[in-house]
Amino acid sequence: MDRRELVRELVAVVGQDGVLASDYDLLLYQYDGSIDTARPDVVVLPRSAEQVAAIVRLAGVHGVPVVARGAGTGLSGGCIPVAGGILLGFARMNRIVEIDLPDLRAVVEPGVVNLHLSQAVAHERLQYVPDPSSQKACTIGGNVGENAGGPHTLAYGVTTNHVLGLELVTAEGEIVQVGGRALDGPGYDLTGLLVGSEGTLGVVTKIIVRLAPLPEAVKTLLAVFESVRKASEAVSRIIGAGVVPAALEMMDAVTLRAVEEATHFGYPMDAGAVLIIELEGLREAIEEQAEQVGALCREVGVLDLRVARDDRERALLWKGRKEAFGALGRLCPEYYVMDGVVPRSKLPEVLDEITAIAERYGLRLANVFHAGDGNLHPLLMFDSDDPTAEQRVREAGAEVLRVCAAVGGSPTGEHGIGVEKRDLMPLFFDDADIEAMKRLKAVFDPDERFNPGKIFPTPGACGELKPRSVSVASLAGGGW
């Protein structure tokens, strides 16, 4: 690769201010929220799908990878350019292109911040439901790449359940559309295939999402328990009774202390764990559900059950939960956040085993996670000044995923595979599964140009496969 020539040609596409190539600038793009780092050869900030297409064609001519990046809040190394090349930053493609109120749809560019869309339609009593903890910063394009979730996906589903269509640039540098505004279109669900593909199949340049009405009433409860096991039992009781809250979140004692010091909401400092339980719907229905939830919590020995009295208290409760990762930074300079899913019924024993893993590796552990759908986020704290610390947290993280696999779980609920879990994929998928995925990848990206080094095990962990290529454009369609 002639880097100078590549930079010159990229400047011709996006302008001088749209290309970053100095060592200082590249340092800022070598990381996300994970512990892996890798520096791109050049960062490009496009303003349109046409510019993205031109950049992808240039990448093909020069034989370099293309990695798409949203806000860099990902937690699995998904946007880390492990093979160098061009990093596409979407900070300038941040327009809400259209809000279609009659059909409850919006069309957005990938750089739109998640929360900004809900704010834009709040006056119409509408919302965009997926709400990752980083929603103040993360972008909808990044959410599409990782199939992001959030607390309220227990009742409403993750990103893929709210995305109806995509515009994307293919490996050939063509702009195509898949899906559309309708709830269901004919043929294969290419939109569902692309959501969660971590930028390995194409570069998304526009997104059609569904909007949802705000509920008539919301009631948020804080249930206090003496232990994580008791709180886990309450989760199973609630769901088992047929009550599906909009959100059902757990924080353990370590997390509670850090969050209380940061928010001063009044979280109990002596509790073993709390559940944040949010009920939504018709006013009369949620009053009845709240009584039922309270009775179920009392059956397992709840120590205290509080109800947010107004929107301010509710907002503070959620502020504590959504800023928990940041608050835990008060306790240790660095941490490693895992992401795995287990059946709800297995939560007590899995959490006990995760505690034992942390103890074996000499690591401090905090738990804050989506208890309602069994999506765990154990947080392992460490200090990289300790020369053994990073290796220990990586090994402990692998042990956590082995536990998830052993109980029939999934390697990710919302953070993606990325770099972090790629070599652990054989825990969950056999060789035939991985080969099928690689064949699919080759249809969209035969030269392995898009976000290489992600998802699939590195050589030695799984065999290589390079099947024949097929033009993605021949598969695409759908009305926009």
As given in the structure block, the two tokens for residue 72 are 């860099």
DSSP structure string for 361-378: TT-EEEEEEBGGGTEE-E
pLDDT of amino acid 465? 35
What residues make up the domain containing 263? 217-326
Among 426, 453, 469, which residue terminates a domain? 426
Among 304, 326, 348, which residue terminates a domain? 326
DSSP E strand boundaries for 113-230 = 126-127, 163-169, 175-179, 203-210, 212-213, 217-225
In a domain, 72, yes or no: yes
What contacts 62, CB < 8 A, 6 or more positions away? 1, 2, 5, 6
369 and 399 share a domain? Answer: yes
Radius of gyration of the chain (CA): 23
* pTM, entire model: 0.93
Core vs surface per residue 109-120: b (16+ CB within 10 A) or e: bbbbbbbbbbeb
- C-alpha 404/C-alpha 398 separation (Å) is 10
Q: Please give the single-letter amino acid code of residue 401.
A: L
CA nearest neighbour of 337 among 237, 252, 415, 430: 415
CATH number, domain of 221, equals 3.30.70.2190
350 and 314 share a domain? Answer: no
User: Phi and psi (nearest 5°) for 306?
Assistant: -110, 150
DSSP E strand boundaries for 59-103 = 66-69, 86-89, 96-100
DSSP structure string for 173-187: S-EEEEE-SSSS-SS
CATH number, domain of 13, equals 3.30.43.10
In a domain, 301, yes or no: yes
As given in the structure block, the two tokens for residue 66 are 């293309």
pLDDT of amino acid 1? 76
- C-alpha 58/C-alpha 64 separation (Å) is 9
Measured over the CA atoms of residue 439, residue 445, residue 450 and residue 452, the dihedral's sign is: positive
As given in the structure block, the two tokens for residue 189 are 């669900």
295 and 344 share a domain? Answer: no
- C-alpha 196/C-alpha 417 separation (Å) is 10
- C-alpha 60/C-alpha 374 separation (Å) is 42
Among 55, 89, 123, which residue terminates a domain? 89
pLDDT of amino acid 42? 98
pLDDT of amino acid 266? 86
302 and 226 share a domain? Answer: yes
72 and 10 share a domain? Answer: yes
In a domain, 259, yes or no: yes
CB 44 within 8 Å of CB 88: yes
Each residue's pLDDT, cut to its tens digit, for the chain (480 residues) gives: 799 999 999 999 999 999 999 999 999 999 999 999 999 999 999 999 999 999 999 999 999 999 999 999 999 999 999 999 999 999 999 999 999 999 999 999 999 999 999 999 999 999 999 999 999 999 999 999 999 999 998 999 999 999 999 999 999 999 999 999 998 878 899 999 999 999 999 999 999 999 999 999 999 999 999 999 999 999 999 999 999 999 999 999 999 999 999 888 888 999 999 999 999 999 999 999 999 999 999 999 999 999 999 999 999 899 999 999 999 988 998 999 999 999 999 999 999 999 999 999 999 999 999 999 999 999 999 999 999 999 999 999 999 999 999 999 999 999 999 999 999 999 999 999 999 999 999 999 999 999 999 999 998 654 333 333 334 444 444 446
288 and 363 share a domain? Answer: no
Can you name the residues that pair with 222 across neighbouring β-strands?
276, 306
As given in the structure block, the two tokens for residue 437 are 């995925």
357 and 336 share a domain? Answer: yes
pLDDT of amino acid 463? 38
42 and 69 share a domain? Answer: yes
Give the chain's count of helices (H) and strands (E).
15, 20
In a domain, 38, yes or no: yes
231 and 315 share a domain? Answer: yes
284 and 376 share a domain? Answer: no
244 and 268 share a domain? Answer: yes
Number of domains in the chain: 3
- C-alpha 108/C-alpha 67 separation (Å) is 20
In a domain, 459, yes or no: no
Residue holding tokens 């509670």? 256
CATH number, domain of 408, equals 3.30.70.2740
What is the spatial order of strands in the sheet that 105-108 belongs to?
96-100, 105-108, 203-210, 163-169, 175-179
pLDDT of amino acid 461? 53
In a domain, 358, yes or no: yes
CB 259 within 8 Å of CB 197: no
In a domain, 130, yes or no: no
In a domain, 156, yes or no: no
284 and 228 share a domain? Answer: yes
Give the pairing type, strands 375-376 and 126-127: unpaired
What contacts 406, CB < 8 A, 6 or more positions away? none
CB 180 within 8 Å of CB 465: no
